[in-house]
Structures are given as structure tokens and as C-alpha cells.
Amino acid sequence: MKIVIVGIGKLGEHLARLLVKENNDVTLIDKNFEGKEAIINNEDVNYVEGNALDSLTLTEAGIAESDLLISVMKDDAQNLMCSLLGKNLGAKHTIARVRNPEYTNSINIIKDTLGLSMAINPELLAASQIAQTLSIPSALDATSFLKGKVDVVSLKVKEDSKLKNTTISHLAKKIGDSVIICAIERESEVIIPSGNTKIEIGDIIHVTGTRKDINNFLKYTGSIADKTKRVIIAGGSRTSIYLTRMLLDMGMSVTIIENDEERCKEISEKIPKALLIKADVSDQNVLYEEGIKYCDAFVSLTNIDEENIVYSMFASIVGVPKIITKINHIELDGVMQKASIDTSIAPHKIAANHVVQYVRAMEHSGASSCEAVYSFGDDIFEMIEFKVKEDFKGINKRLMDLNFRENVIIGAIQRGKNIIYPSGKDEIKLNDTIVIVSKSNLIRELNDVVR
């Protein structure tokens, strides 16, 4: 597909990388490529320097033949303007980043009027990701699939875990087939497990199942934590506002610590139920006063990565059971583990995954189509939802008779309203939605799962 990306910031760059990896023709537009040479030199992309709100620049970038225009400049209004121009100049689809909460309120009107295919709000996506994770506190991470019917949670195997040194098939005998361990991360490598894969201490395992079954599984492993009730958020960013609303709706109490008084007032006006504290998060007296020792979760959401890391480290020293850290641009492998930061969230990565998912769905429309894609463990493996159409080779065959590729398993099958966690005897039928777990970039379409 021919894709034009406007605005090469964090998100634009990340998107370009992911989309090139997926074999798309990517053209970048930015006013100035100084300091951004890395992306041009290291990735197979074309680029045009100029103002994207100038139709000449867009034409030069080949907008007329393009399938998709993605505008991710700093300013929302410019993104919307650029999408409008792009659409009129021939781009088949347009995606714009819209971050301003006021715009988000009226996003449907804006989308309809401008013919926008998708509006992405990285902060909102990040907030719902965090909220979901907090709802299953013993998990490192939680995402839902199949329109919320199935969750995938990740958890770390600790020394006292019942799971250590058991094989998958042994485990299946004990807990039945209500959940599936679909991927194991071990030292930045991913293992898509088979029956005799052994779970070791320090592994991060990814488990799919319904919320209830996962809770039972967590209970079995002895790693279930108390329900999250009190949350402290460091920093009053936009993500904080979205998150606070979600957490309050889930019945949690939220304290936001923010150093700017005007900002505090603004948030307090928007969310009267939240407790706003005007203070510097780096003042430990304030943190103790606000009961950091007794809170169930600590979320660092300031705009500075380094601060977030330090605050989270402190929370970890104090002994907060659940800590989530927003990391925007630091990409130093291993640092997070060393700083004992288990869960980190990168809004631009979540947003990028969202876009990639959309692009894949576009690509495959017609054939057995990809409905959603989620990437895990720094893009080392992914889960893809496919709708099964007539062209799939494996229809009505038992799974054990299909010759699956290596590193691919089926995580769940949705048939009508039922969710099946498949064993070898199950079959895939027409119009099922299936969730494939695989190492990244193996699967382009559904037929790729079989050899």
C-alpha cells in the first residue's frame, strides 16, 4: 500500500518503522528533516520536505495515488486540515491524530464532515490501557480481544509461583482448558509454547481467557492481588484526566499530584470527584502525607520520562503493589527491568499499533480479513483477530490435522456468541473469528498460518 505520513515526531517515526516492516511504500512529509536523518537513512522510505498544508507538497509526495494519509503533526487543527486537503487531492483514506479533549467530544461530527477514516487519540488509548491493567492488578498488562469478550493478561512468574518448572500440558491437566498460555517471554525472546514447553522463574507468560476464567487461574497460581481501590497519579496530564474519569467510574478513589495550581483547578473543575494535590511529586513528605504507603496503585504520568521513572522507583521502594509508568521516548533495553519497573506504557506505541491494525484490515479486506492486531513485548510477538471466509484452506478440518507453521497457535475461537479455547479436536468453521498468536510479521493473511 502507498502510505503518506505527515509529521515526523515520535509517533510518525514509530509508525513509519512499523509500516515499512509490513512492506508498505511509505513517504514522509515534514517541514524540516534536520535531526531526523536516522529514519530516512535506516528505513526504506521516501521523503518530501515542505509544508503539508500546501497542496503542492502533498502532490509531490504522491497523494493522488496514495491509499492512506496519516497526519500526526503537533497541532490537531493542522492534522484535520491536512486530512481534508489529502482527501480532496485523492487519498483513499485518511487518519488524523486528534488529542484535544474538546475535539474528541465532537469527533463523530468532525469525522463525518471531513471524511476522516479514523481519529487517533494516543492519550485516550493509553489511559484505557492503564485502566484495564489496573482492573486486573496482579497482571503486568491486560488487553481485551473479540470486542471485550476475551482478555489477554501477562504476568511474571515469581520464585514462589506454583507455575514454575511445570510444563504446559501438565498445567492443562490441572486447570482444564478454560485459559490458554499463548506466549512466554524469556530474556527478550518469545516462545510460542507447545505441550512440553516448561515454565521457568522470571518468565512473563501471556494468558488468554474470559475475565472470570483468568481470575480463577490467577487464584490458582496464588498471584491474585486485592482489588485496586486507591490510586495515586503523579502529574496532571491529559492522560491523567482520561484515566481518572475511567478509574472513578470503576469505583476507585483517585489522588492526582500536580505542581501547577491553575492546572489543578482546571482538573478539579472537570472532575470534582478527584482529589487534587498541588505539590511537587519529588517531595516525599507529600507522598507520605497522601498515603503512598497505603495506596494500591501508583501511576506516573508526567510529561518527562526521567521523572516518571524516578517516581516509580520510589513507589517501588515504598512498596506500592502496582506501579505503572508512562515512557514516551526512552528506548533503552533492560533499563526498565533494572529499575524494577514492570509495567510501562508508551502512548505513541499503543497509537501506532492501532494504526497498523487498521492498515492491515484495509489490506486484507475481501479475503479472510484481519480485524485487529495487537503487538506485545516490544513488538516481538503479536495477536491477530481474523474473520474466517471461504478462501481459508483449513475450513472444517480438525486442528490436529492442519500442518501449522512453527511459532503460531490459535488463542481463541469465537463462534456466534461462544468462545472456544481450542484443543486439537476442534475445527475452524466459516464466519468464525479466530485469534492467532504468532511471532511478529509471520502472518499477513489467514492462510499463512498453515504451511
Q: Is 276 in the site for another protein (CB under 8 A)?
A: yes
Per rule CB under 8 A, count of chain residues that contact another protein: 15
**Are 350 and 141 in contact, with CB atoms under 8 Å apart?**
no
Q: Tell me how far, at minimum, the Cβ of 314 lies from another protein, in Å.
A: 18
State in angstroms the smallest separation of the CB of 130 from another protein.
23
Q: Quick check: 341 and 325 in contact, CB under 8 A?
A: yes
* Cβ-Cβ contacts under 8 Å for 189 (sequence gap 6 or more): 380
Is residue 299 within 8 A of residue 230, CB to CB? The reply is: no
> How far apart are alpha carbons 114 and 260 in whole angstroms?
36
* Closest distance of CB 62 from another protein, Å: 49
289 contacts another protein (rule: CB under 8 A): yes
Q: Does 233 bind another protein (CB under 8 A)?
A: no
Residue number with CB closer to another protein (128 or 268): 268
Cβ closest to another protein, residue 118 vs residue 277: 277
| Binding track over 252-271 against another protein, x by CB under 8 A | ---------x--xxx-xx--
Distance CA 218, CA 224 (A): 5
Q: How far apart are CA 259 and CA 433, in angstroms?
A: 48
Minimum CB separation of residue 162 from another protein in Å reads 41
Considering the complex, what minimum distance in angstroms separates the CB of residue 300 from another protein?
18
| 248 forms part of the interface with another protein (CB under 8 A) | no
- Closer by beta carbon to another protein, 176 or else 291: 291
200 is an interface residue for another protein by CB under 8 A: no
Under the criterion CB under 8 A, does residue 21 sit at the interface with another protein? no
CB contact at 8 A, 181 and 168 = yes
Nearer to another protein, 9 or 101 (CB): 101
If binding is defined by CB under 8 A, does position 287 make contact with another protein?
no
The reply to whether 34 sits near another protein by the rule CB under 8 A is: no
Using alpha carbons, select from 287, 248, 290 the residue that is nearest to residue 271: 248
Cell 500442518 belongs to residue:
403
CB nearer another protein, residue 53 or residue 275: 275
Q: Does 102 contact another protein by CB under 8 A? A: no
Residue 170 sits in the site that holds another protein (CB under 8 A): no
CA gap 174, 171 in Å, rounded: 5
286 binds another protein (CB under 8 A): yes
* Residue 319 engages another protein in binding (rule: CB under 8 A): no
- Cβ burial of 407 (10 Å; 0-12, 13-18, 19+) is middle
Strand locations in 306-431 (E): 322-326, 343-345, 370-376, 381-387, 408-415, 418-420
Q: Which stretch binds another protein (CB under 8 A): 70-78, 100-108, 273-281, 347-355?
A: 273-281
Closest Cα to residue 281, out of 309, 260, 265, 259? 259
User: For binding to another protein (CB under 8 A), which residues are involved?
Assistant: 261, 264-266, 268-269, 272, 275-279, 286, 289-290
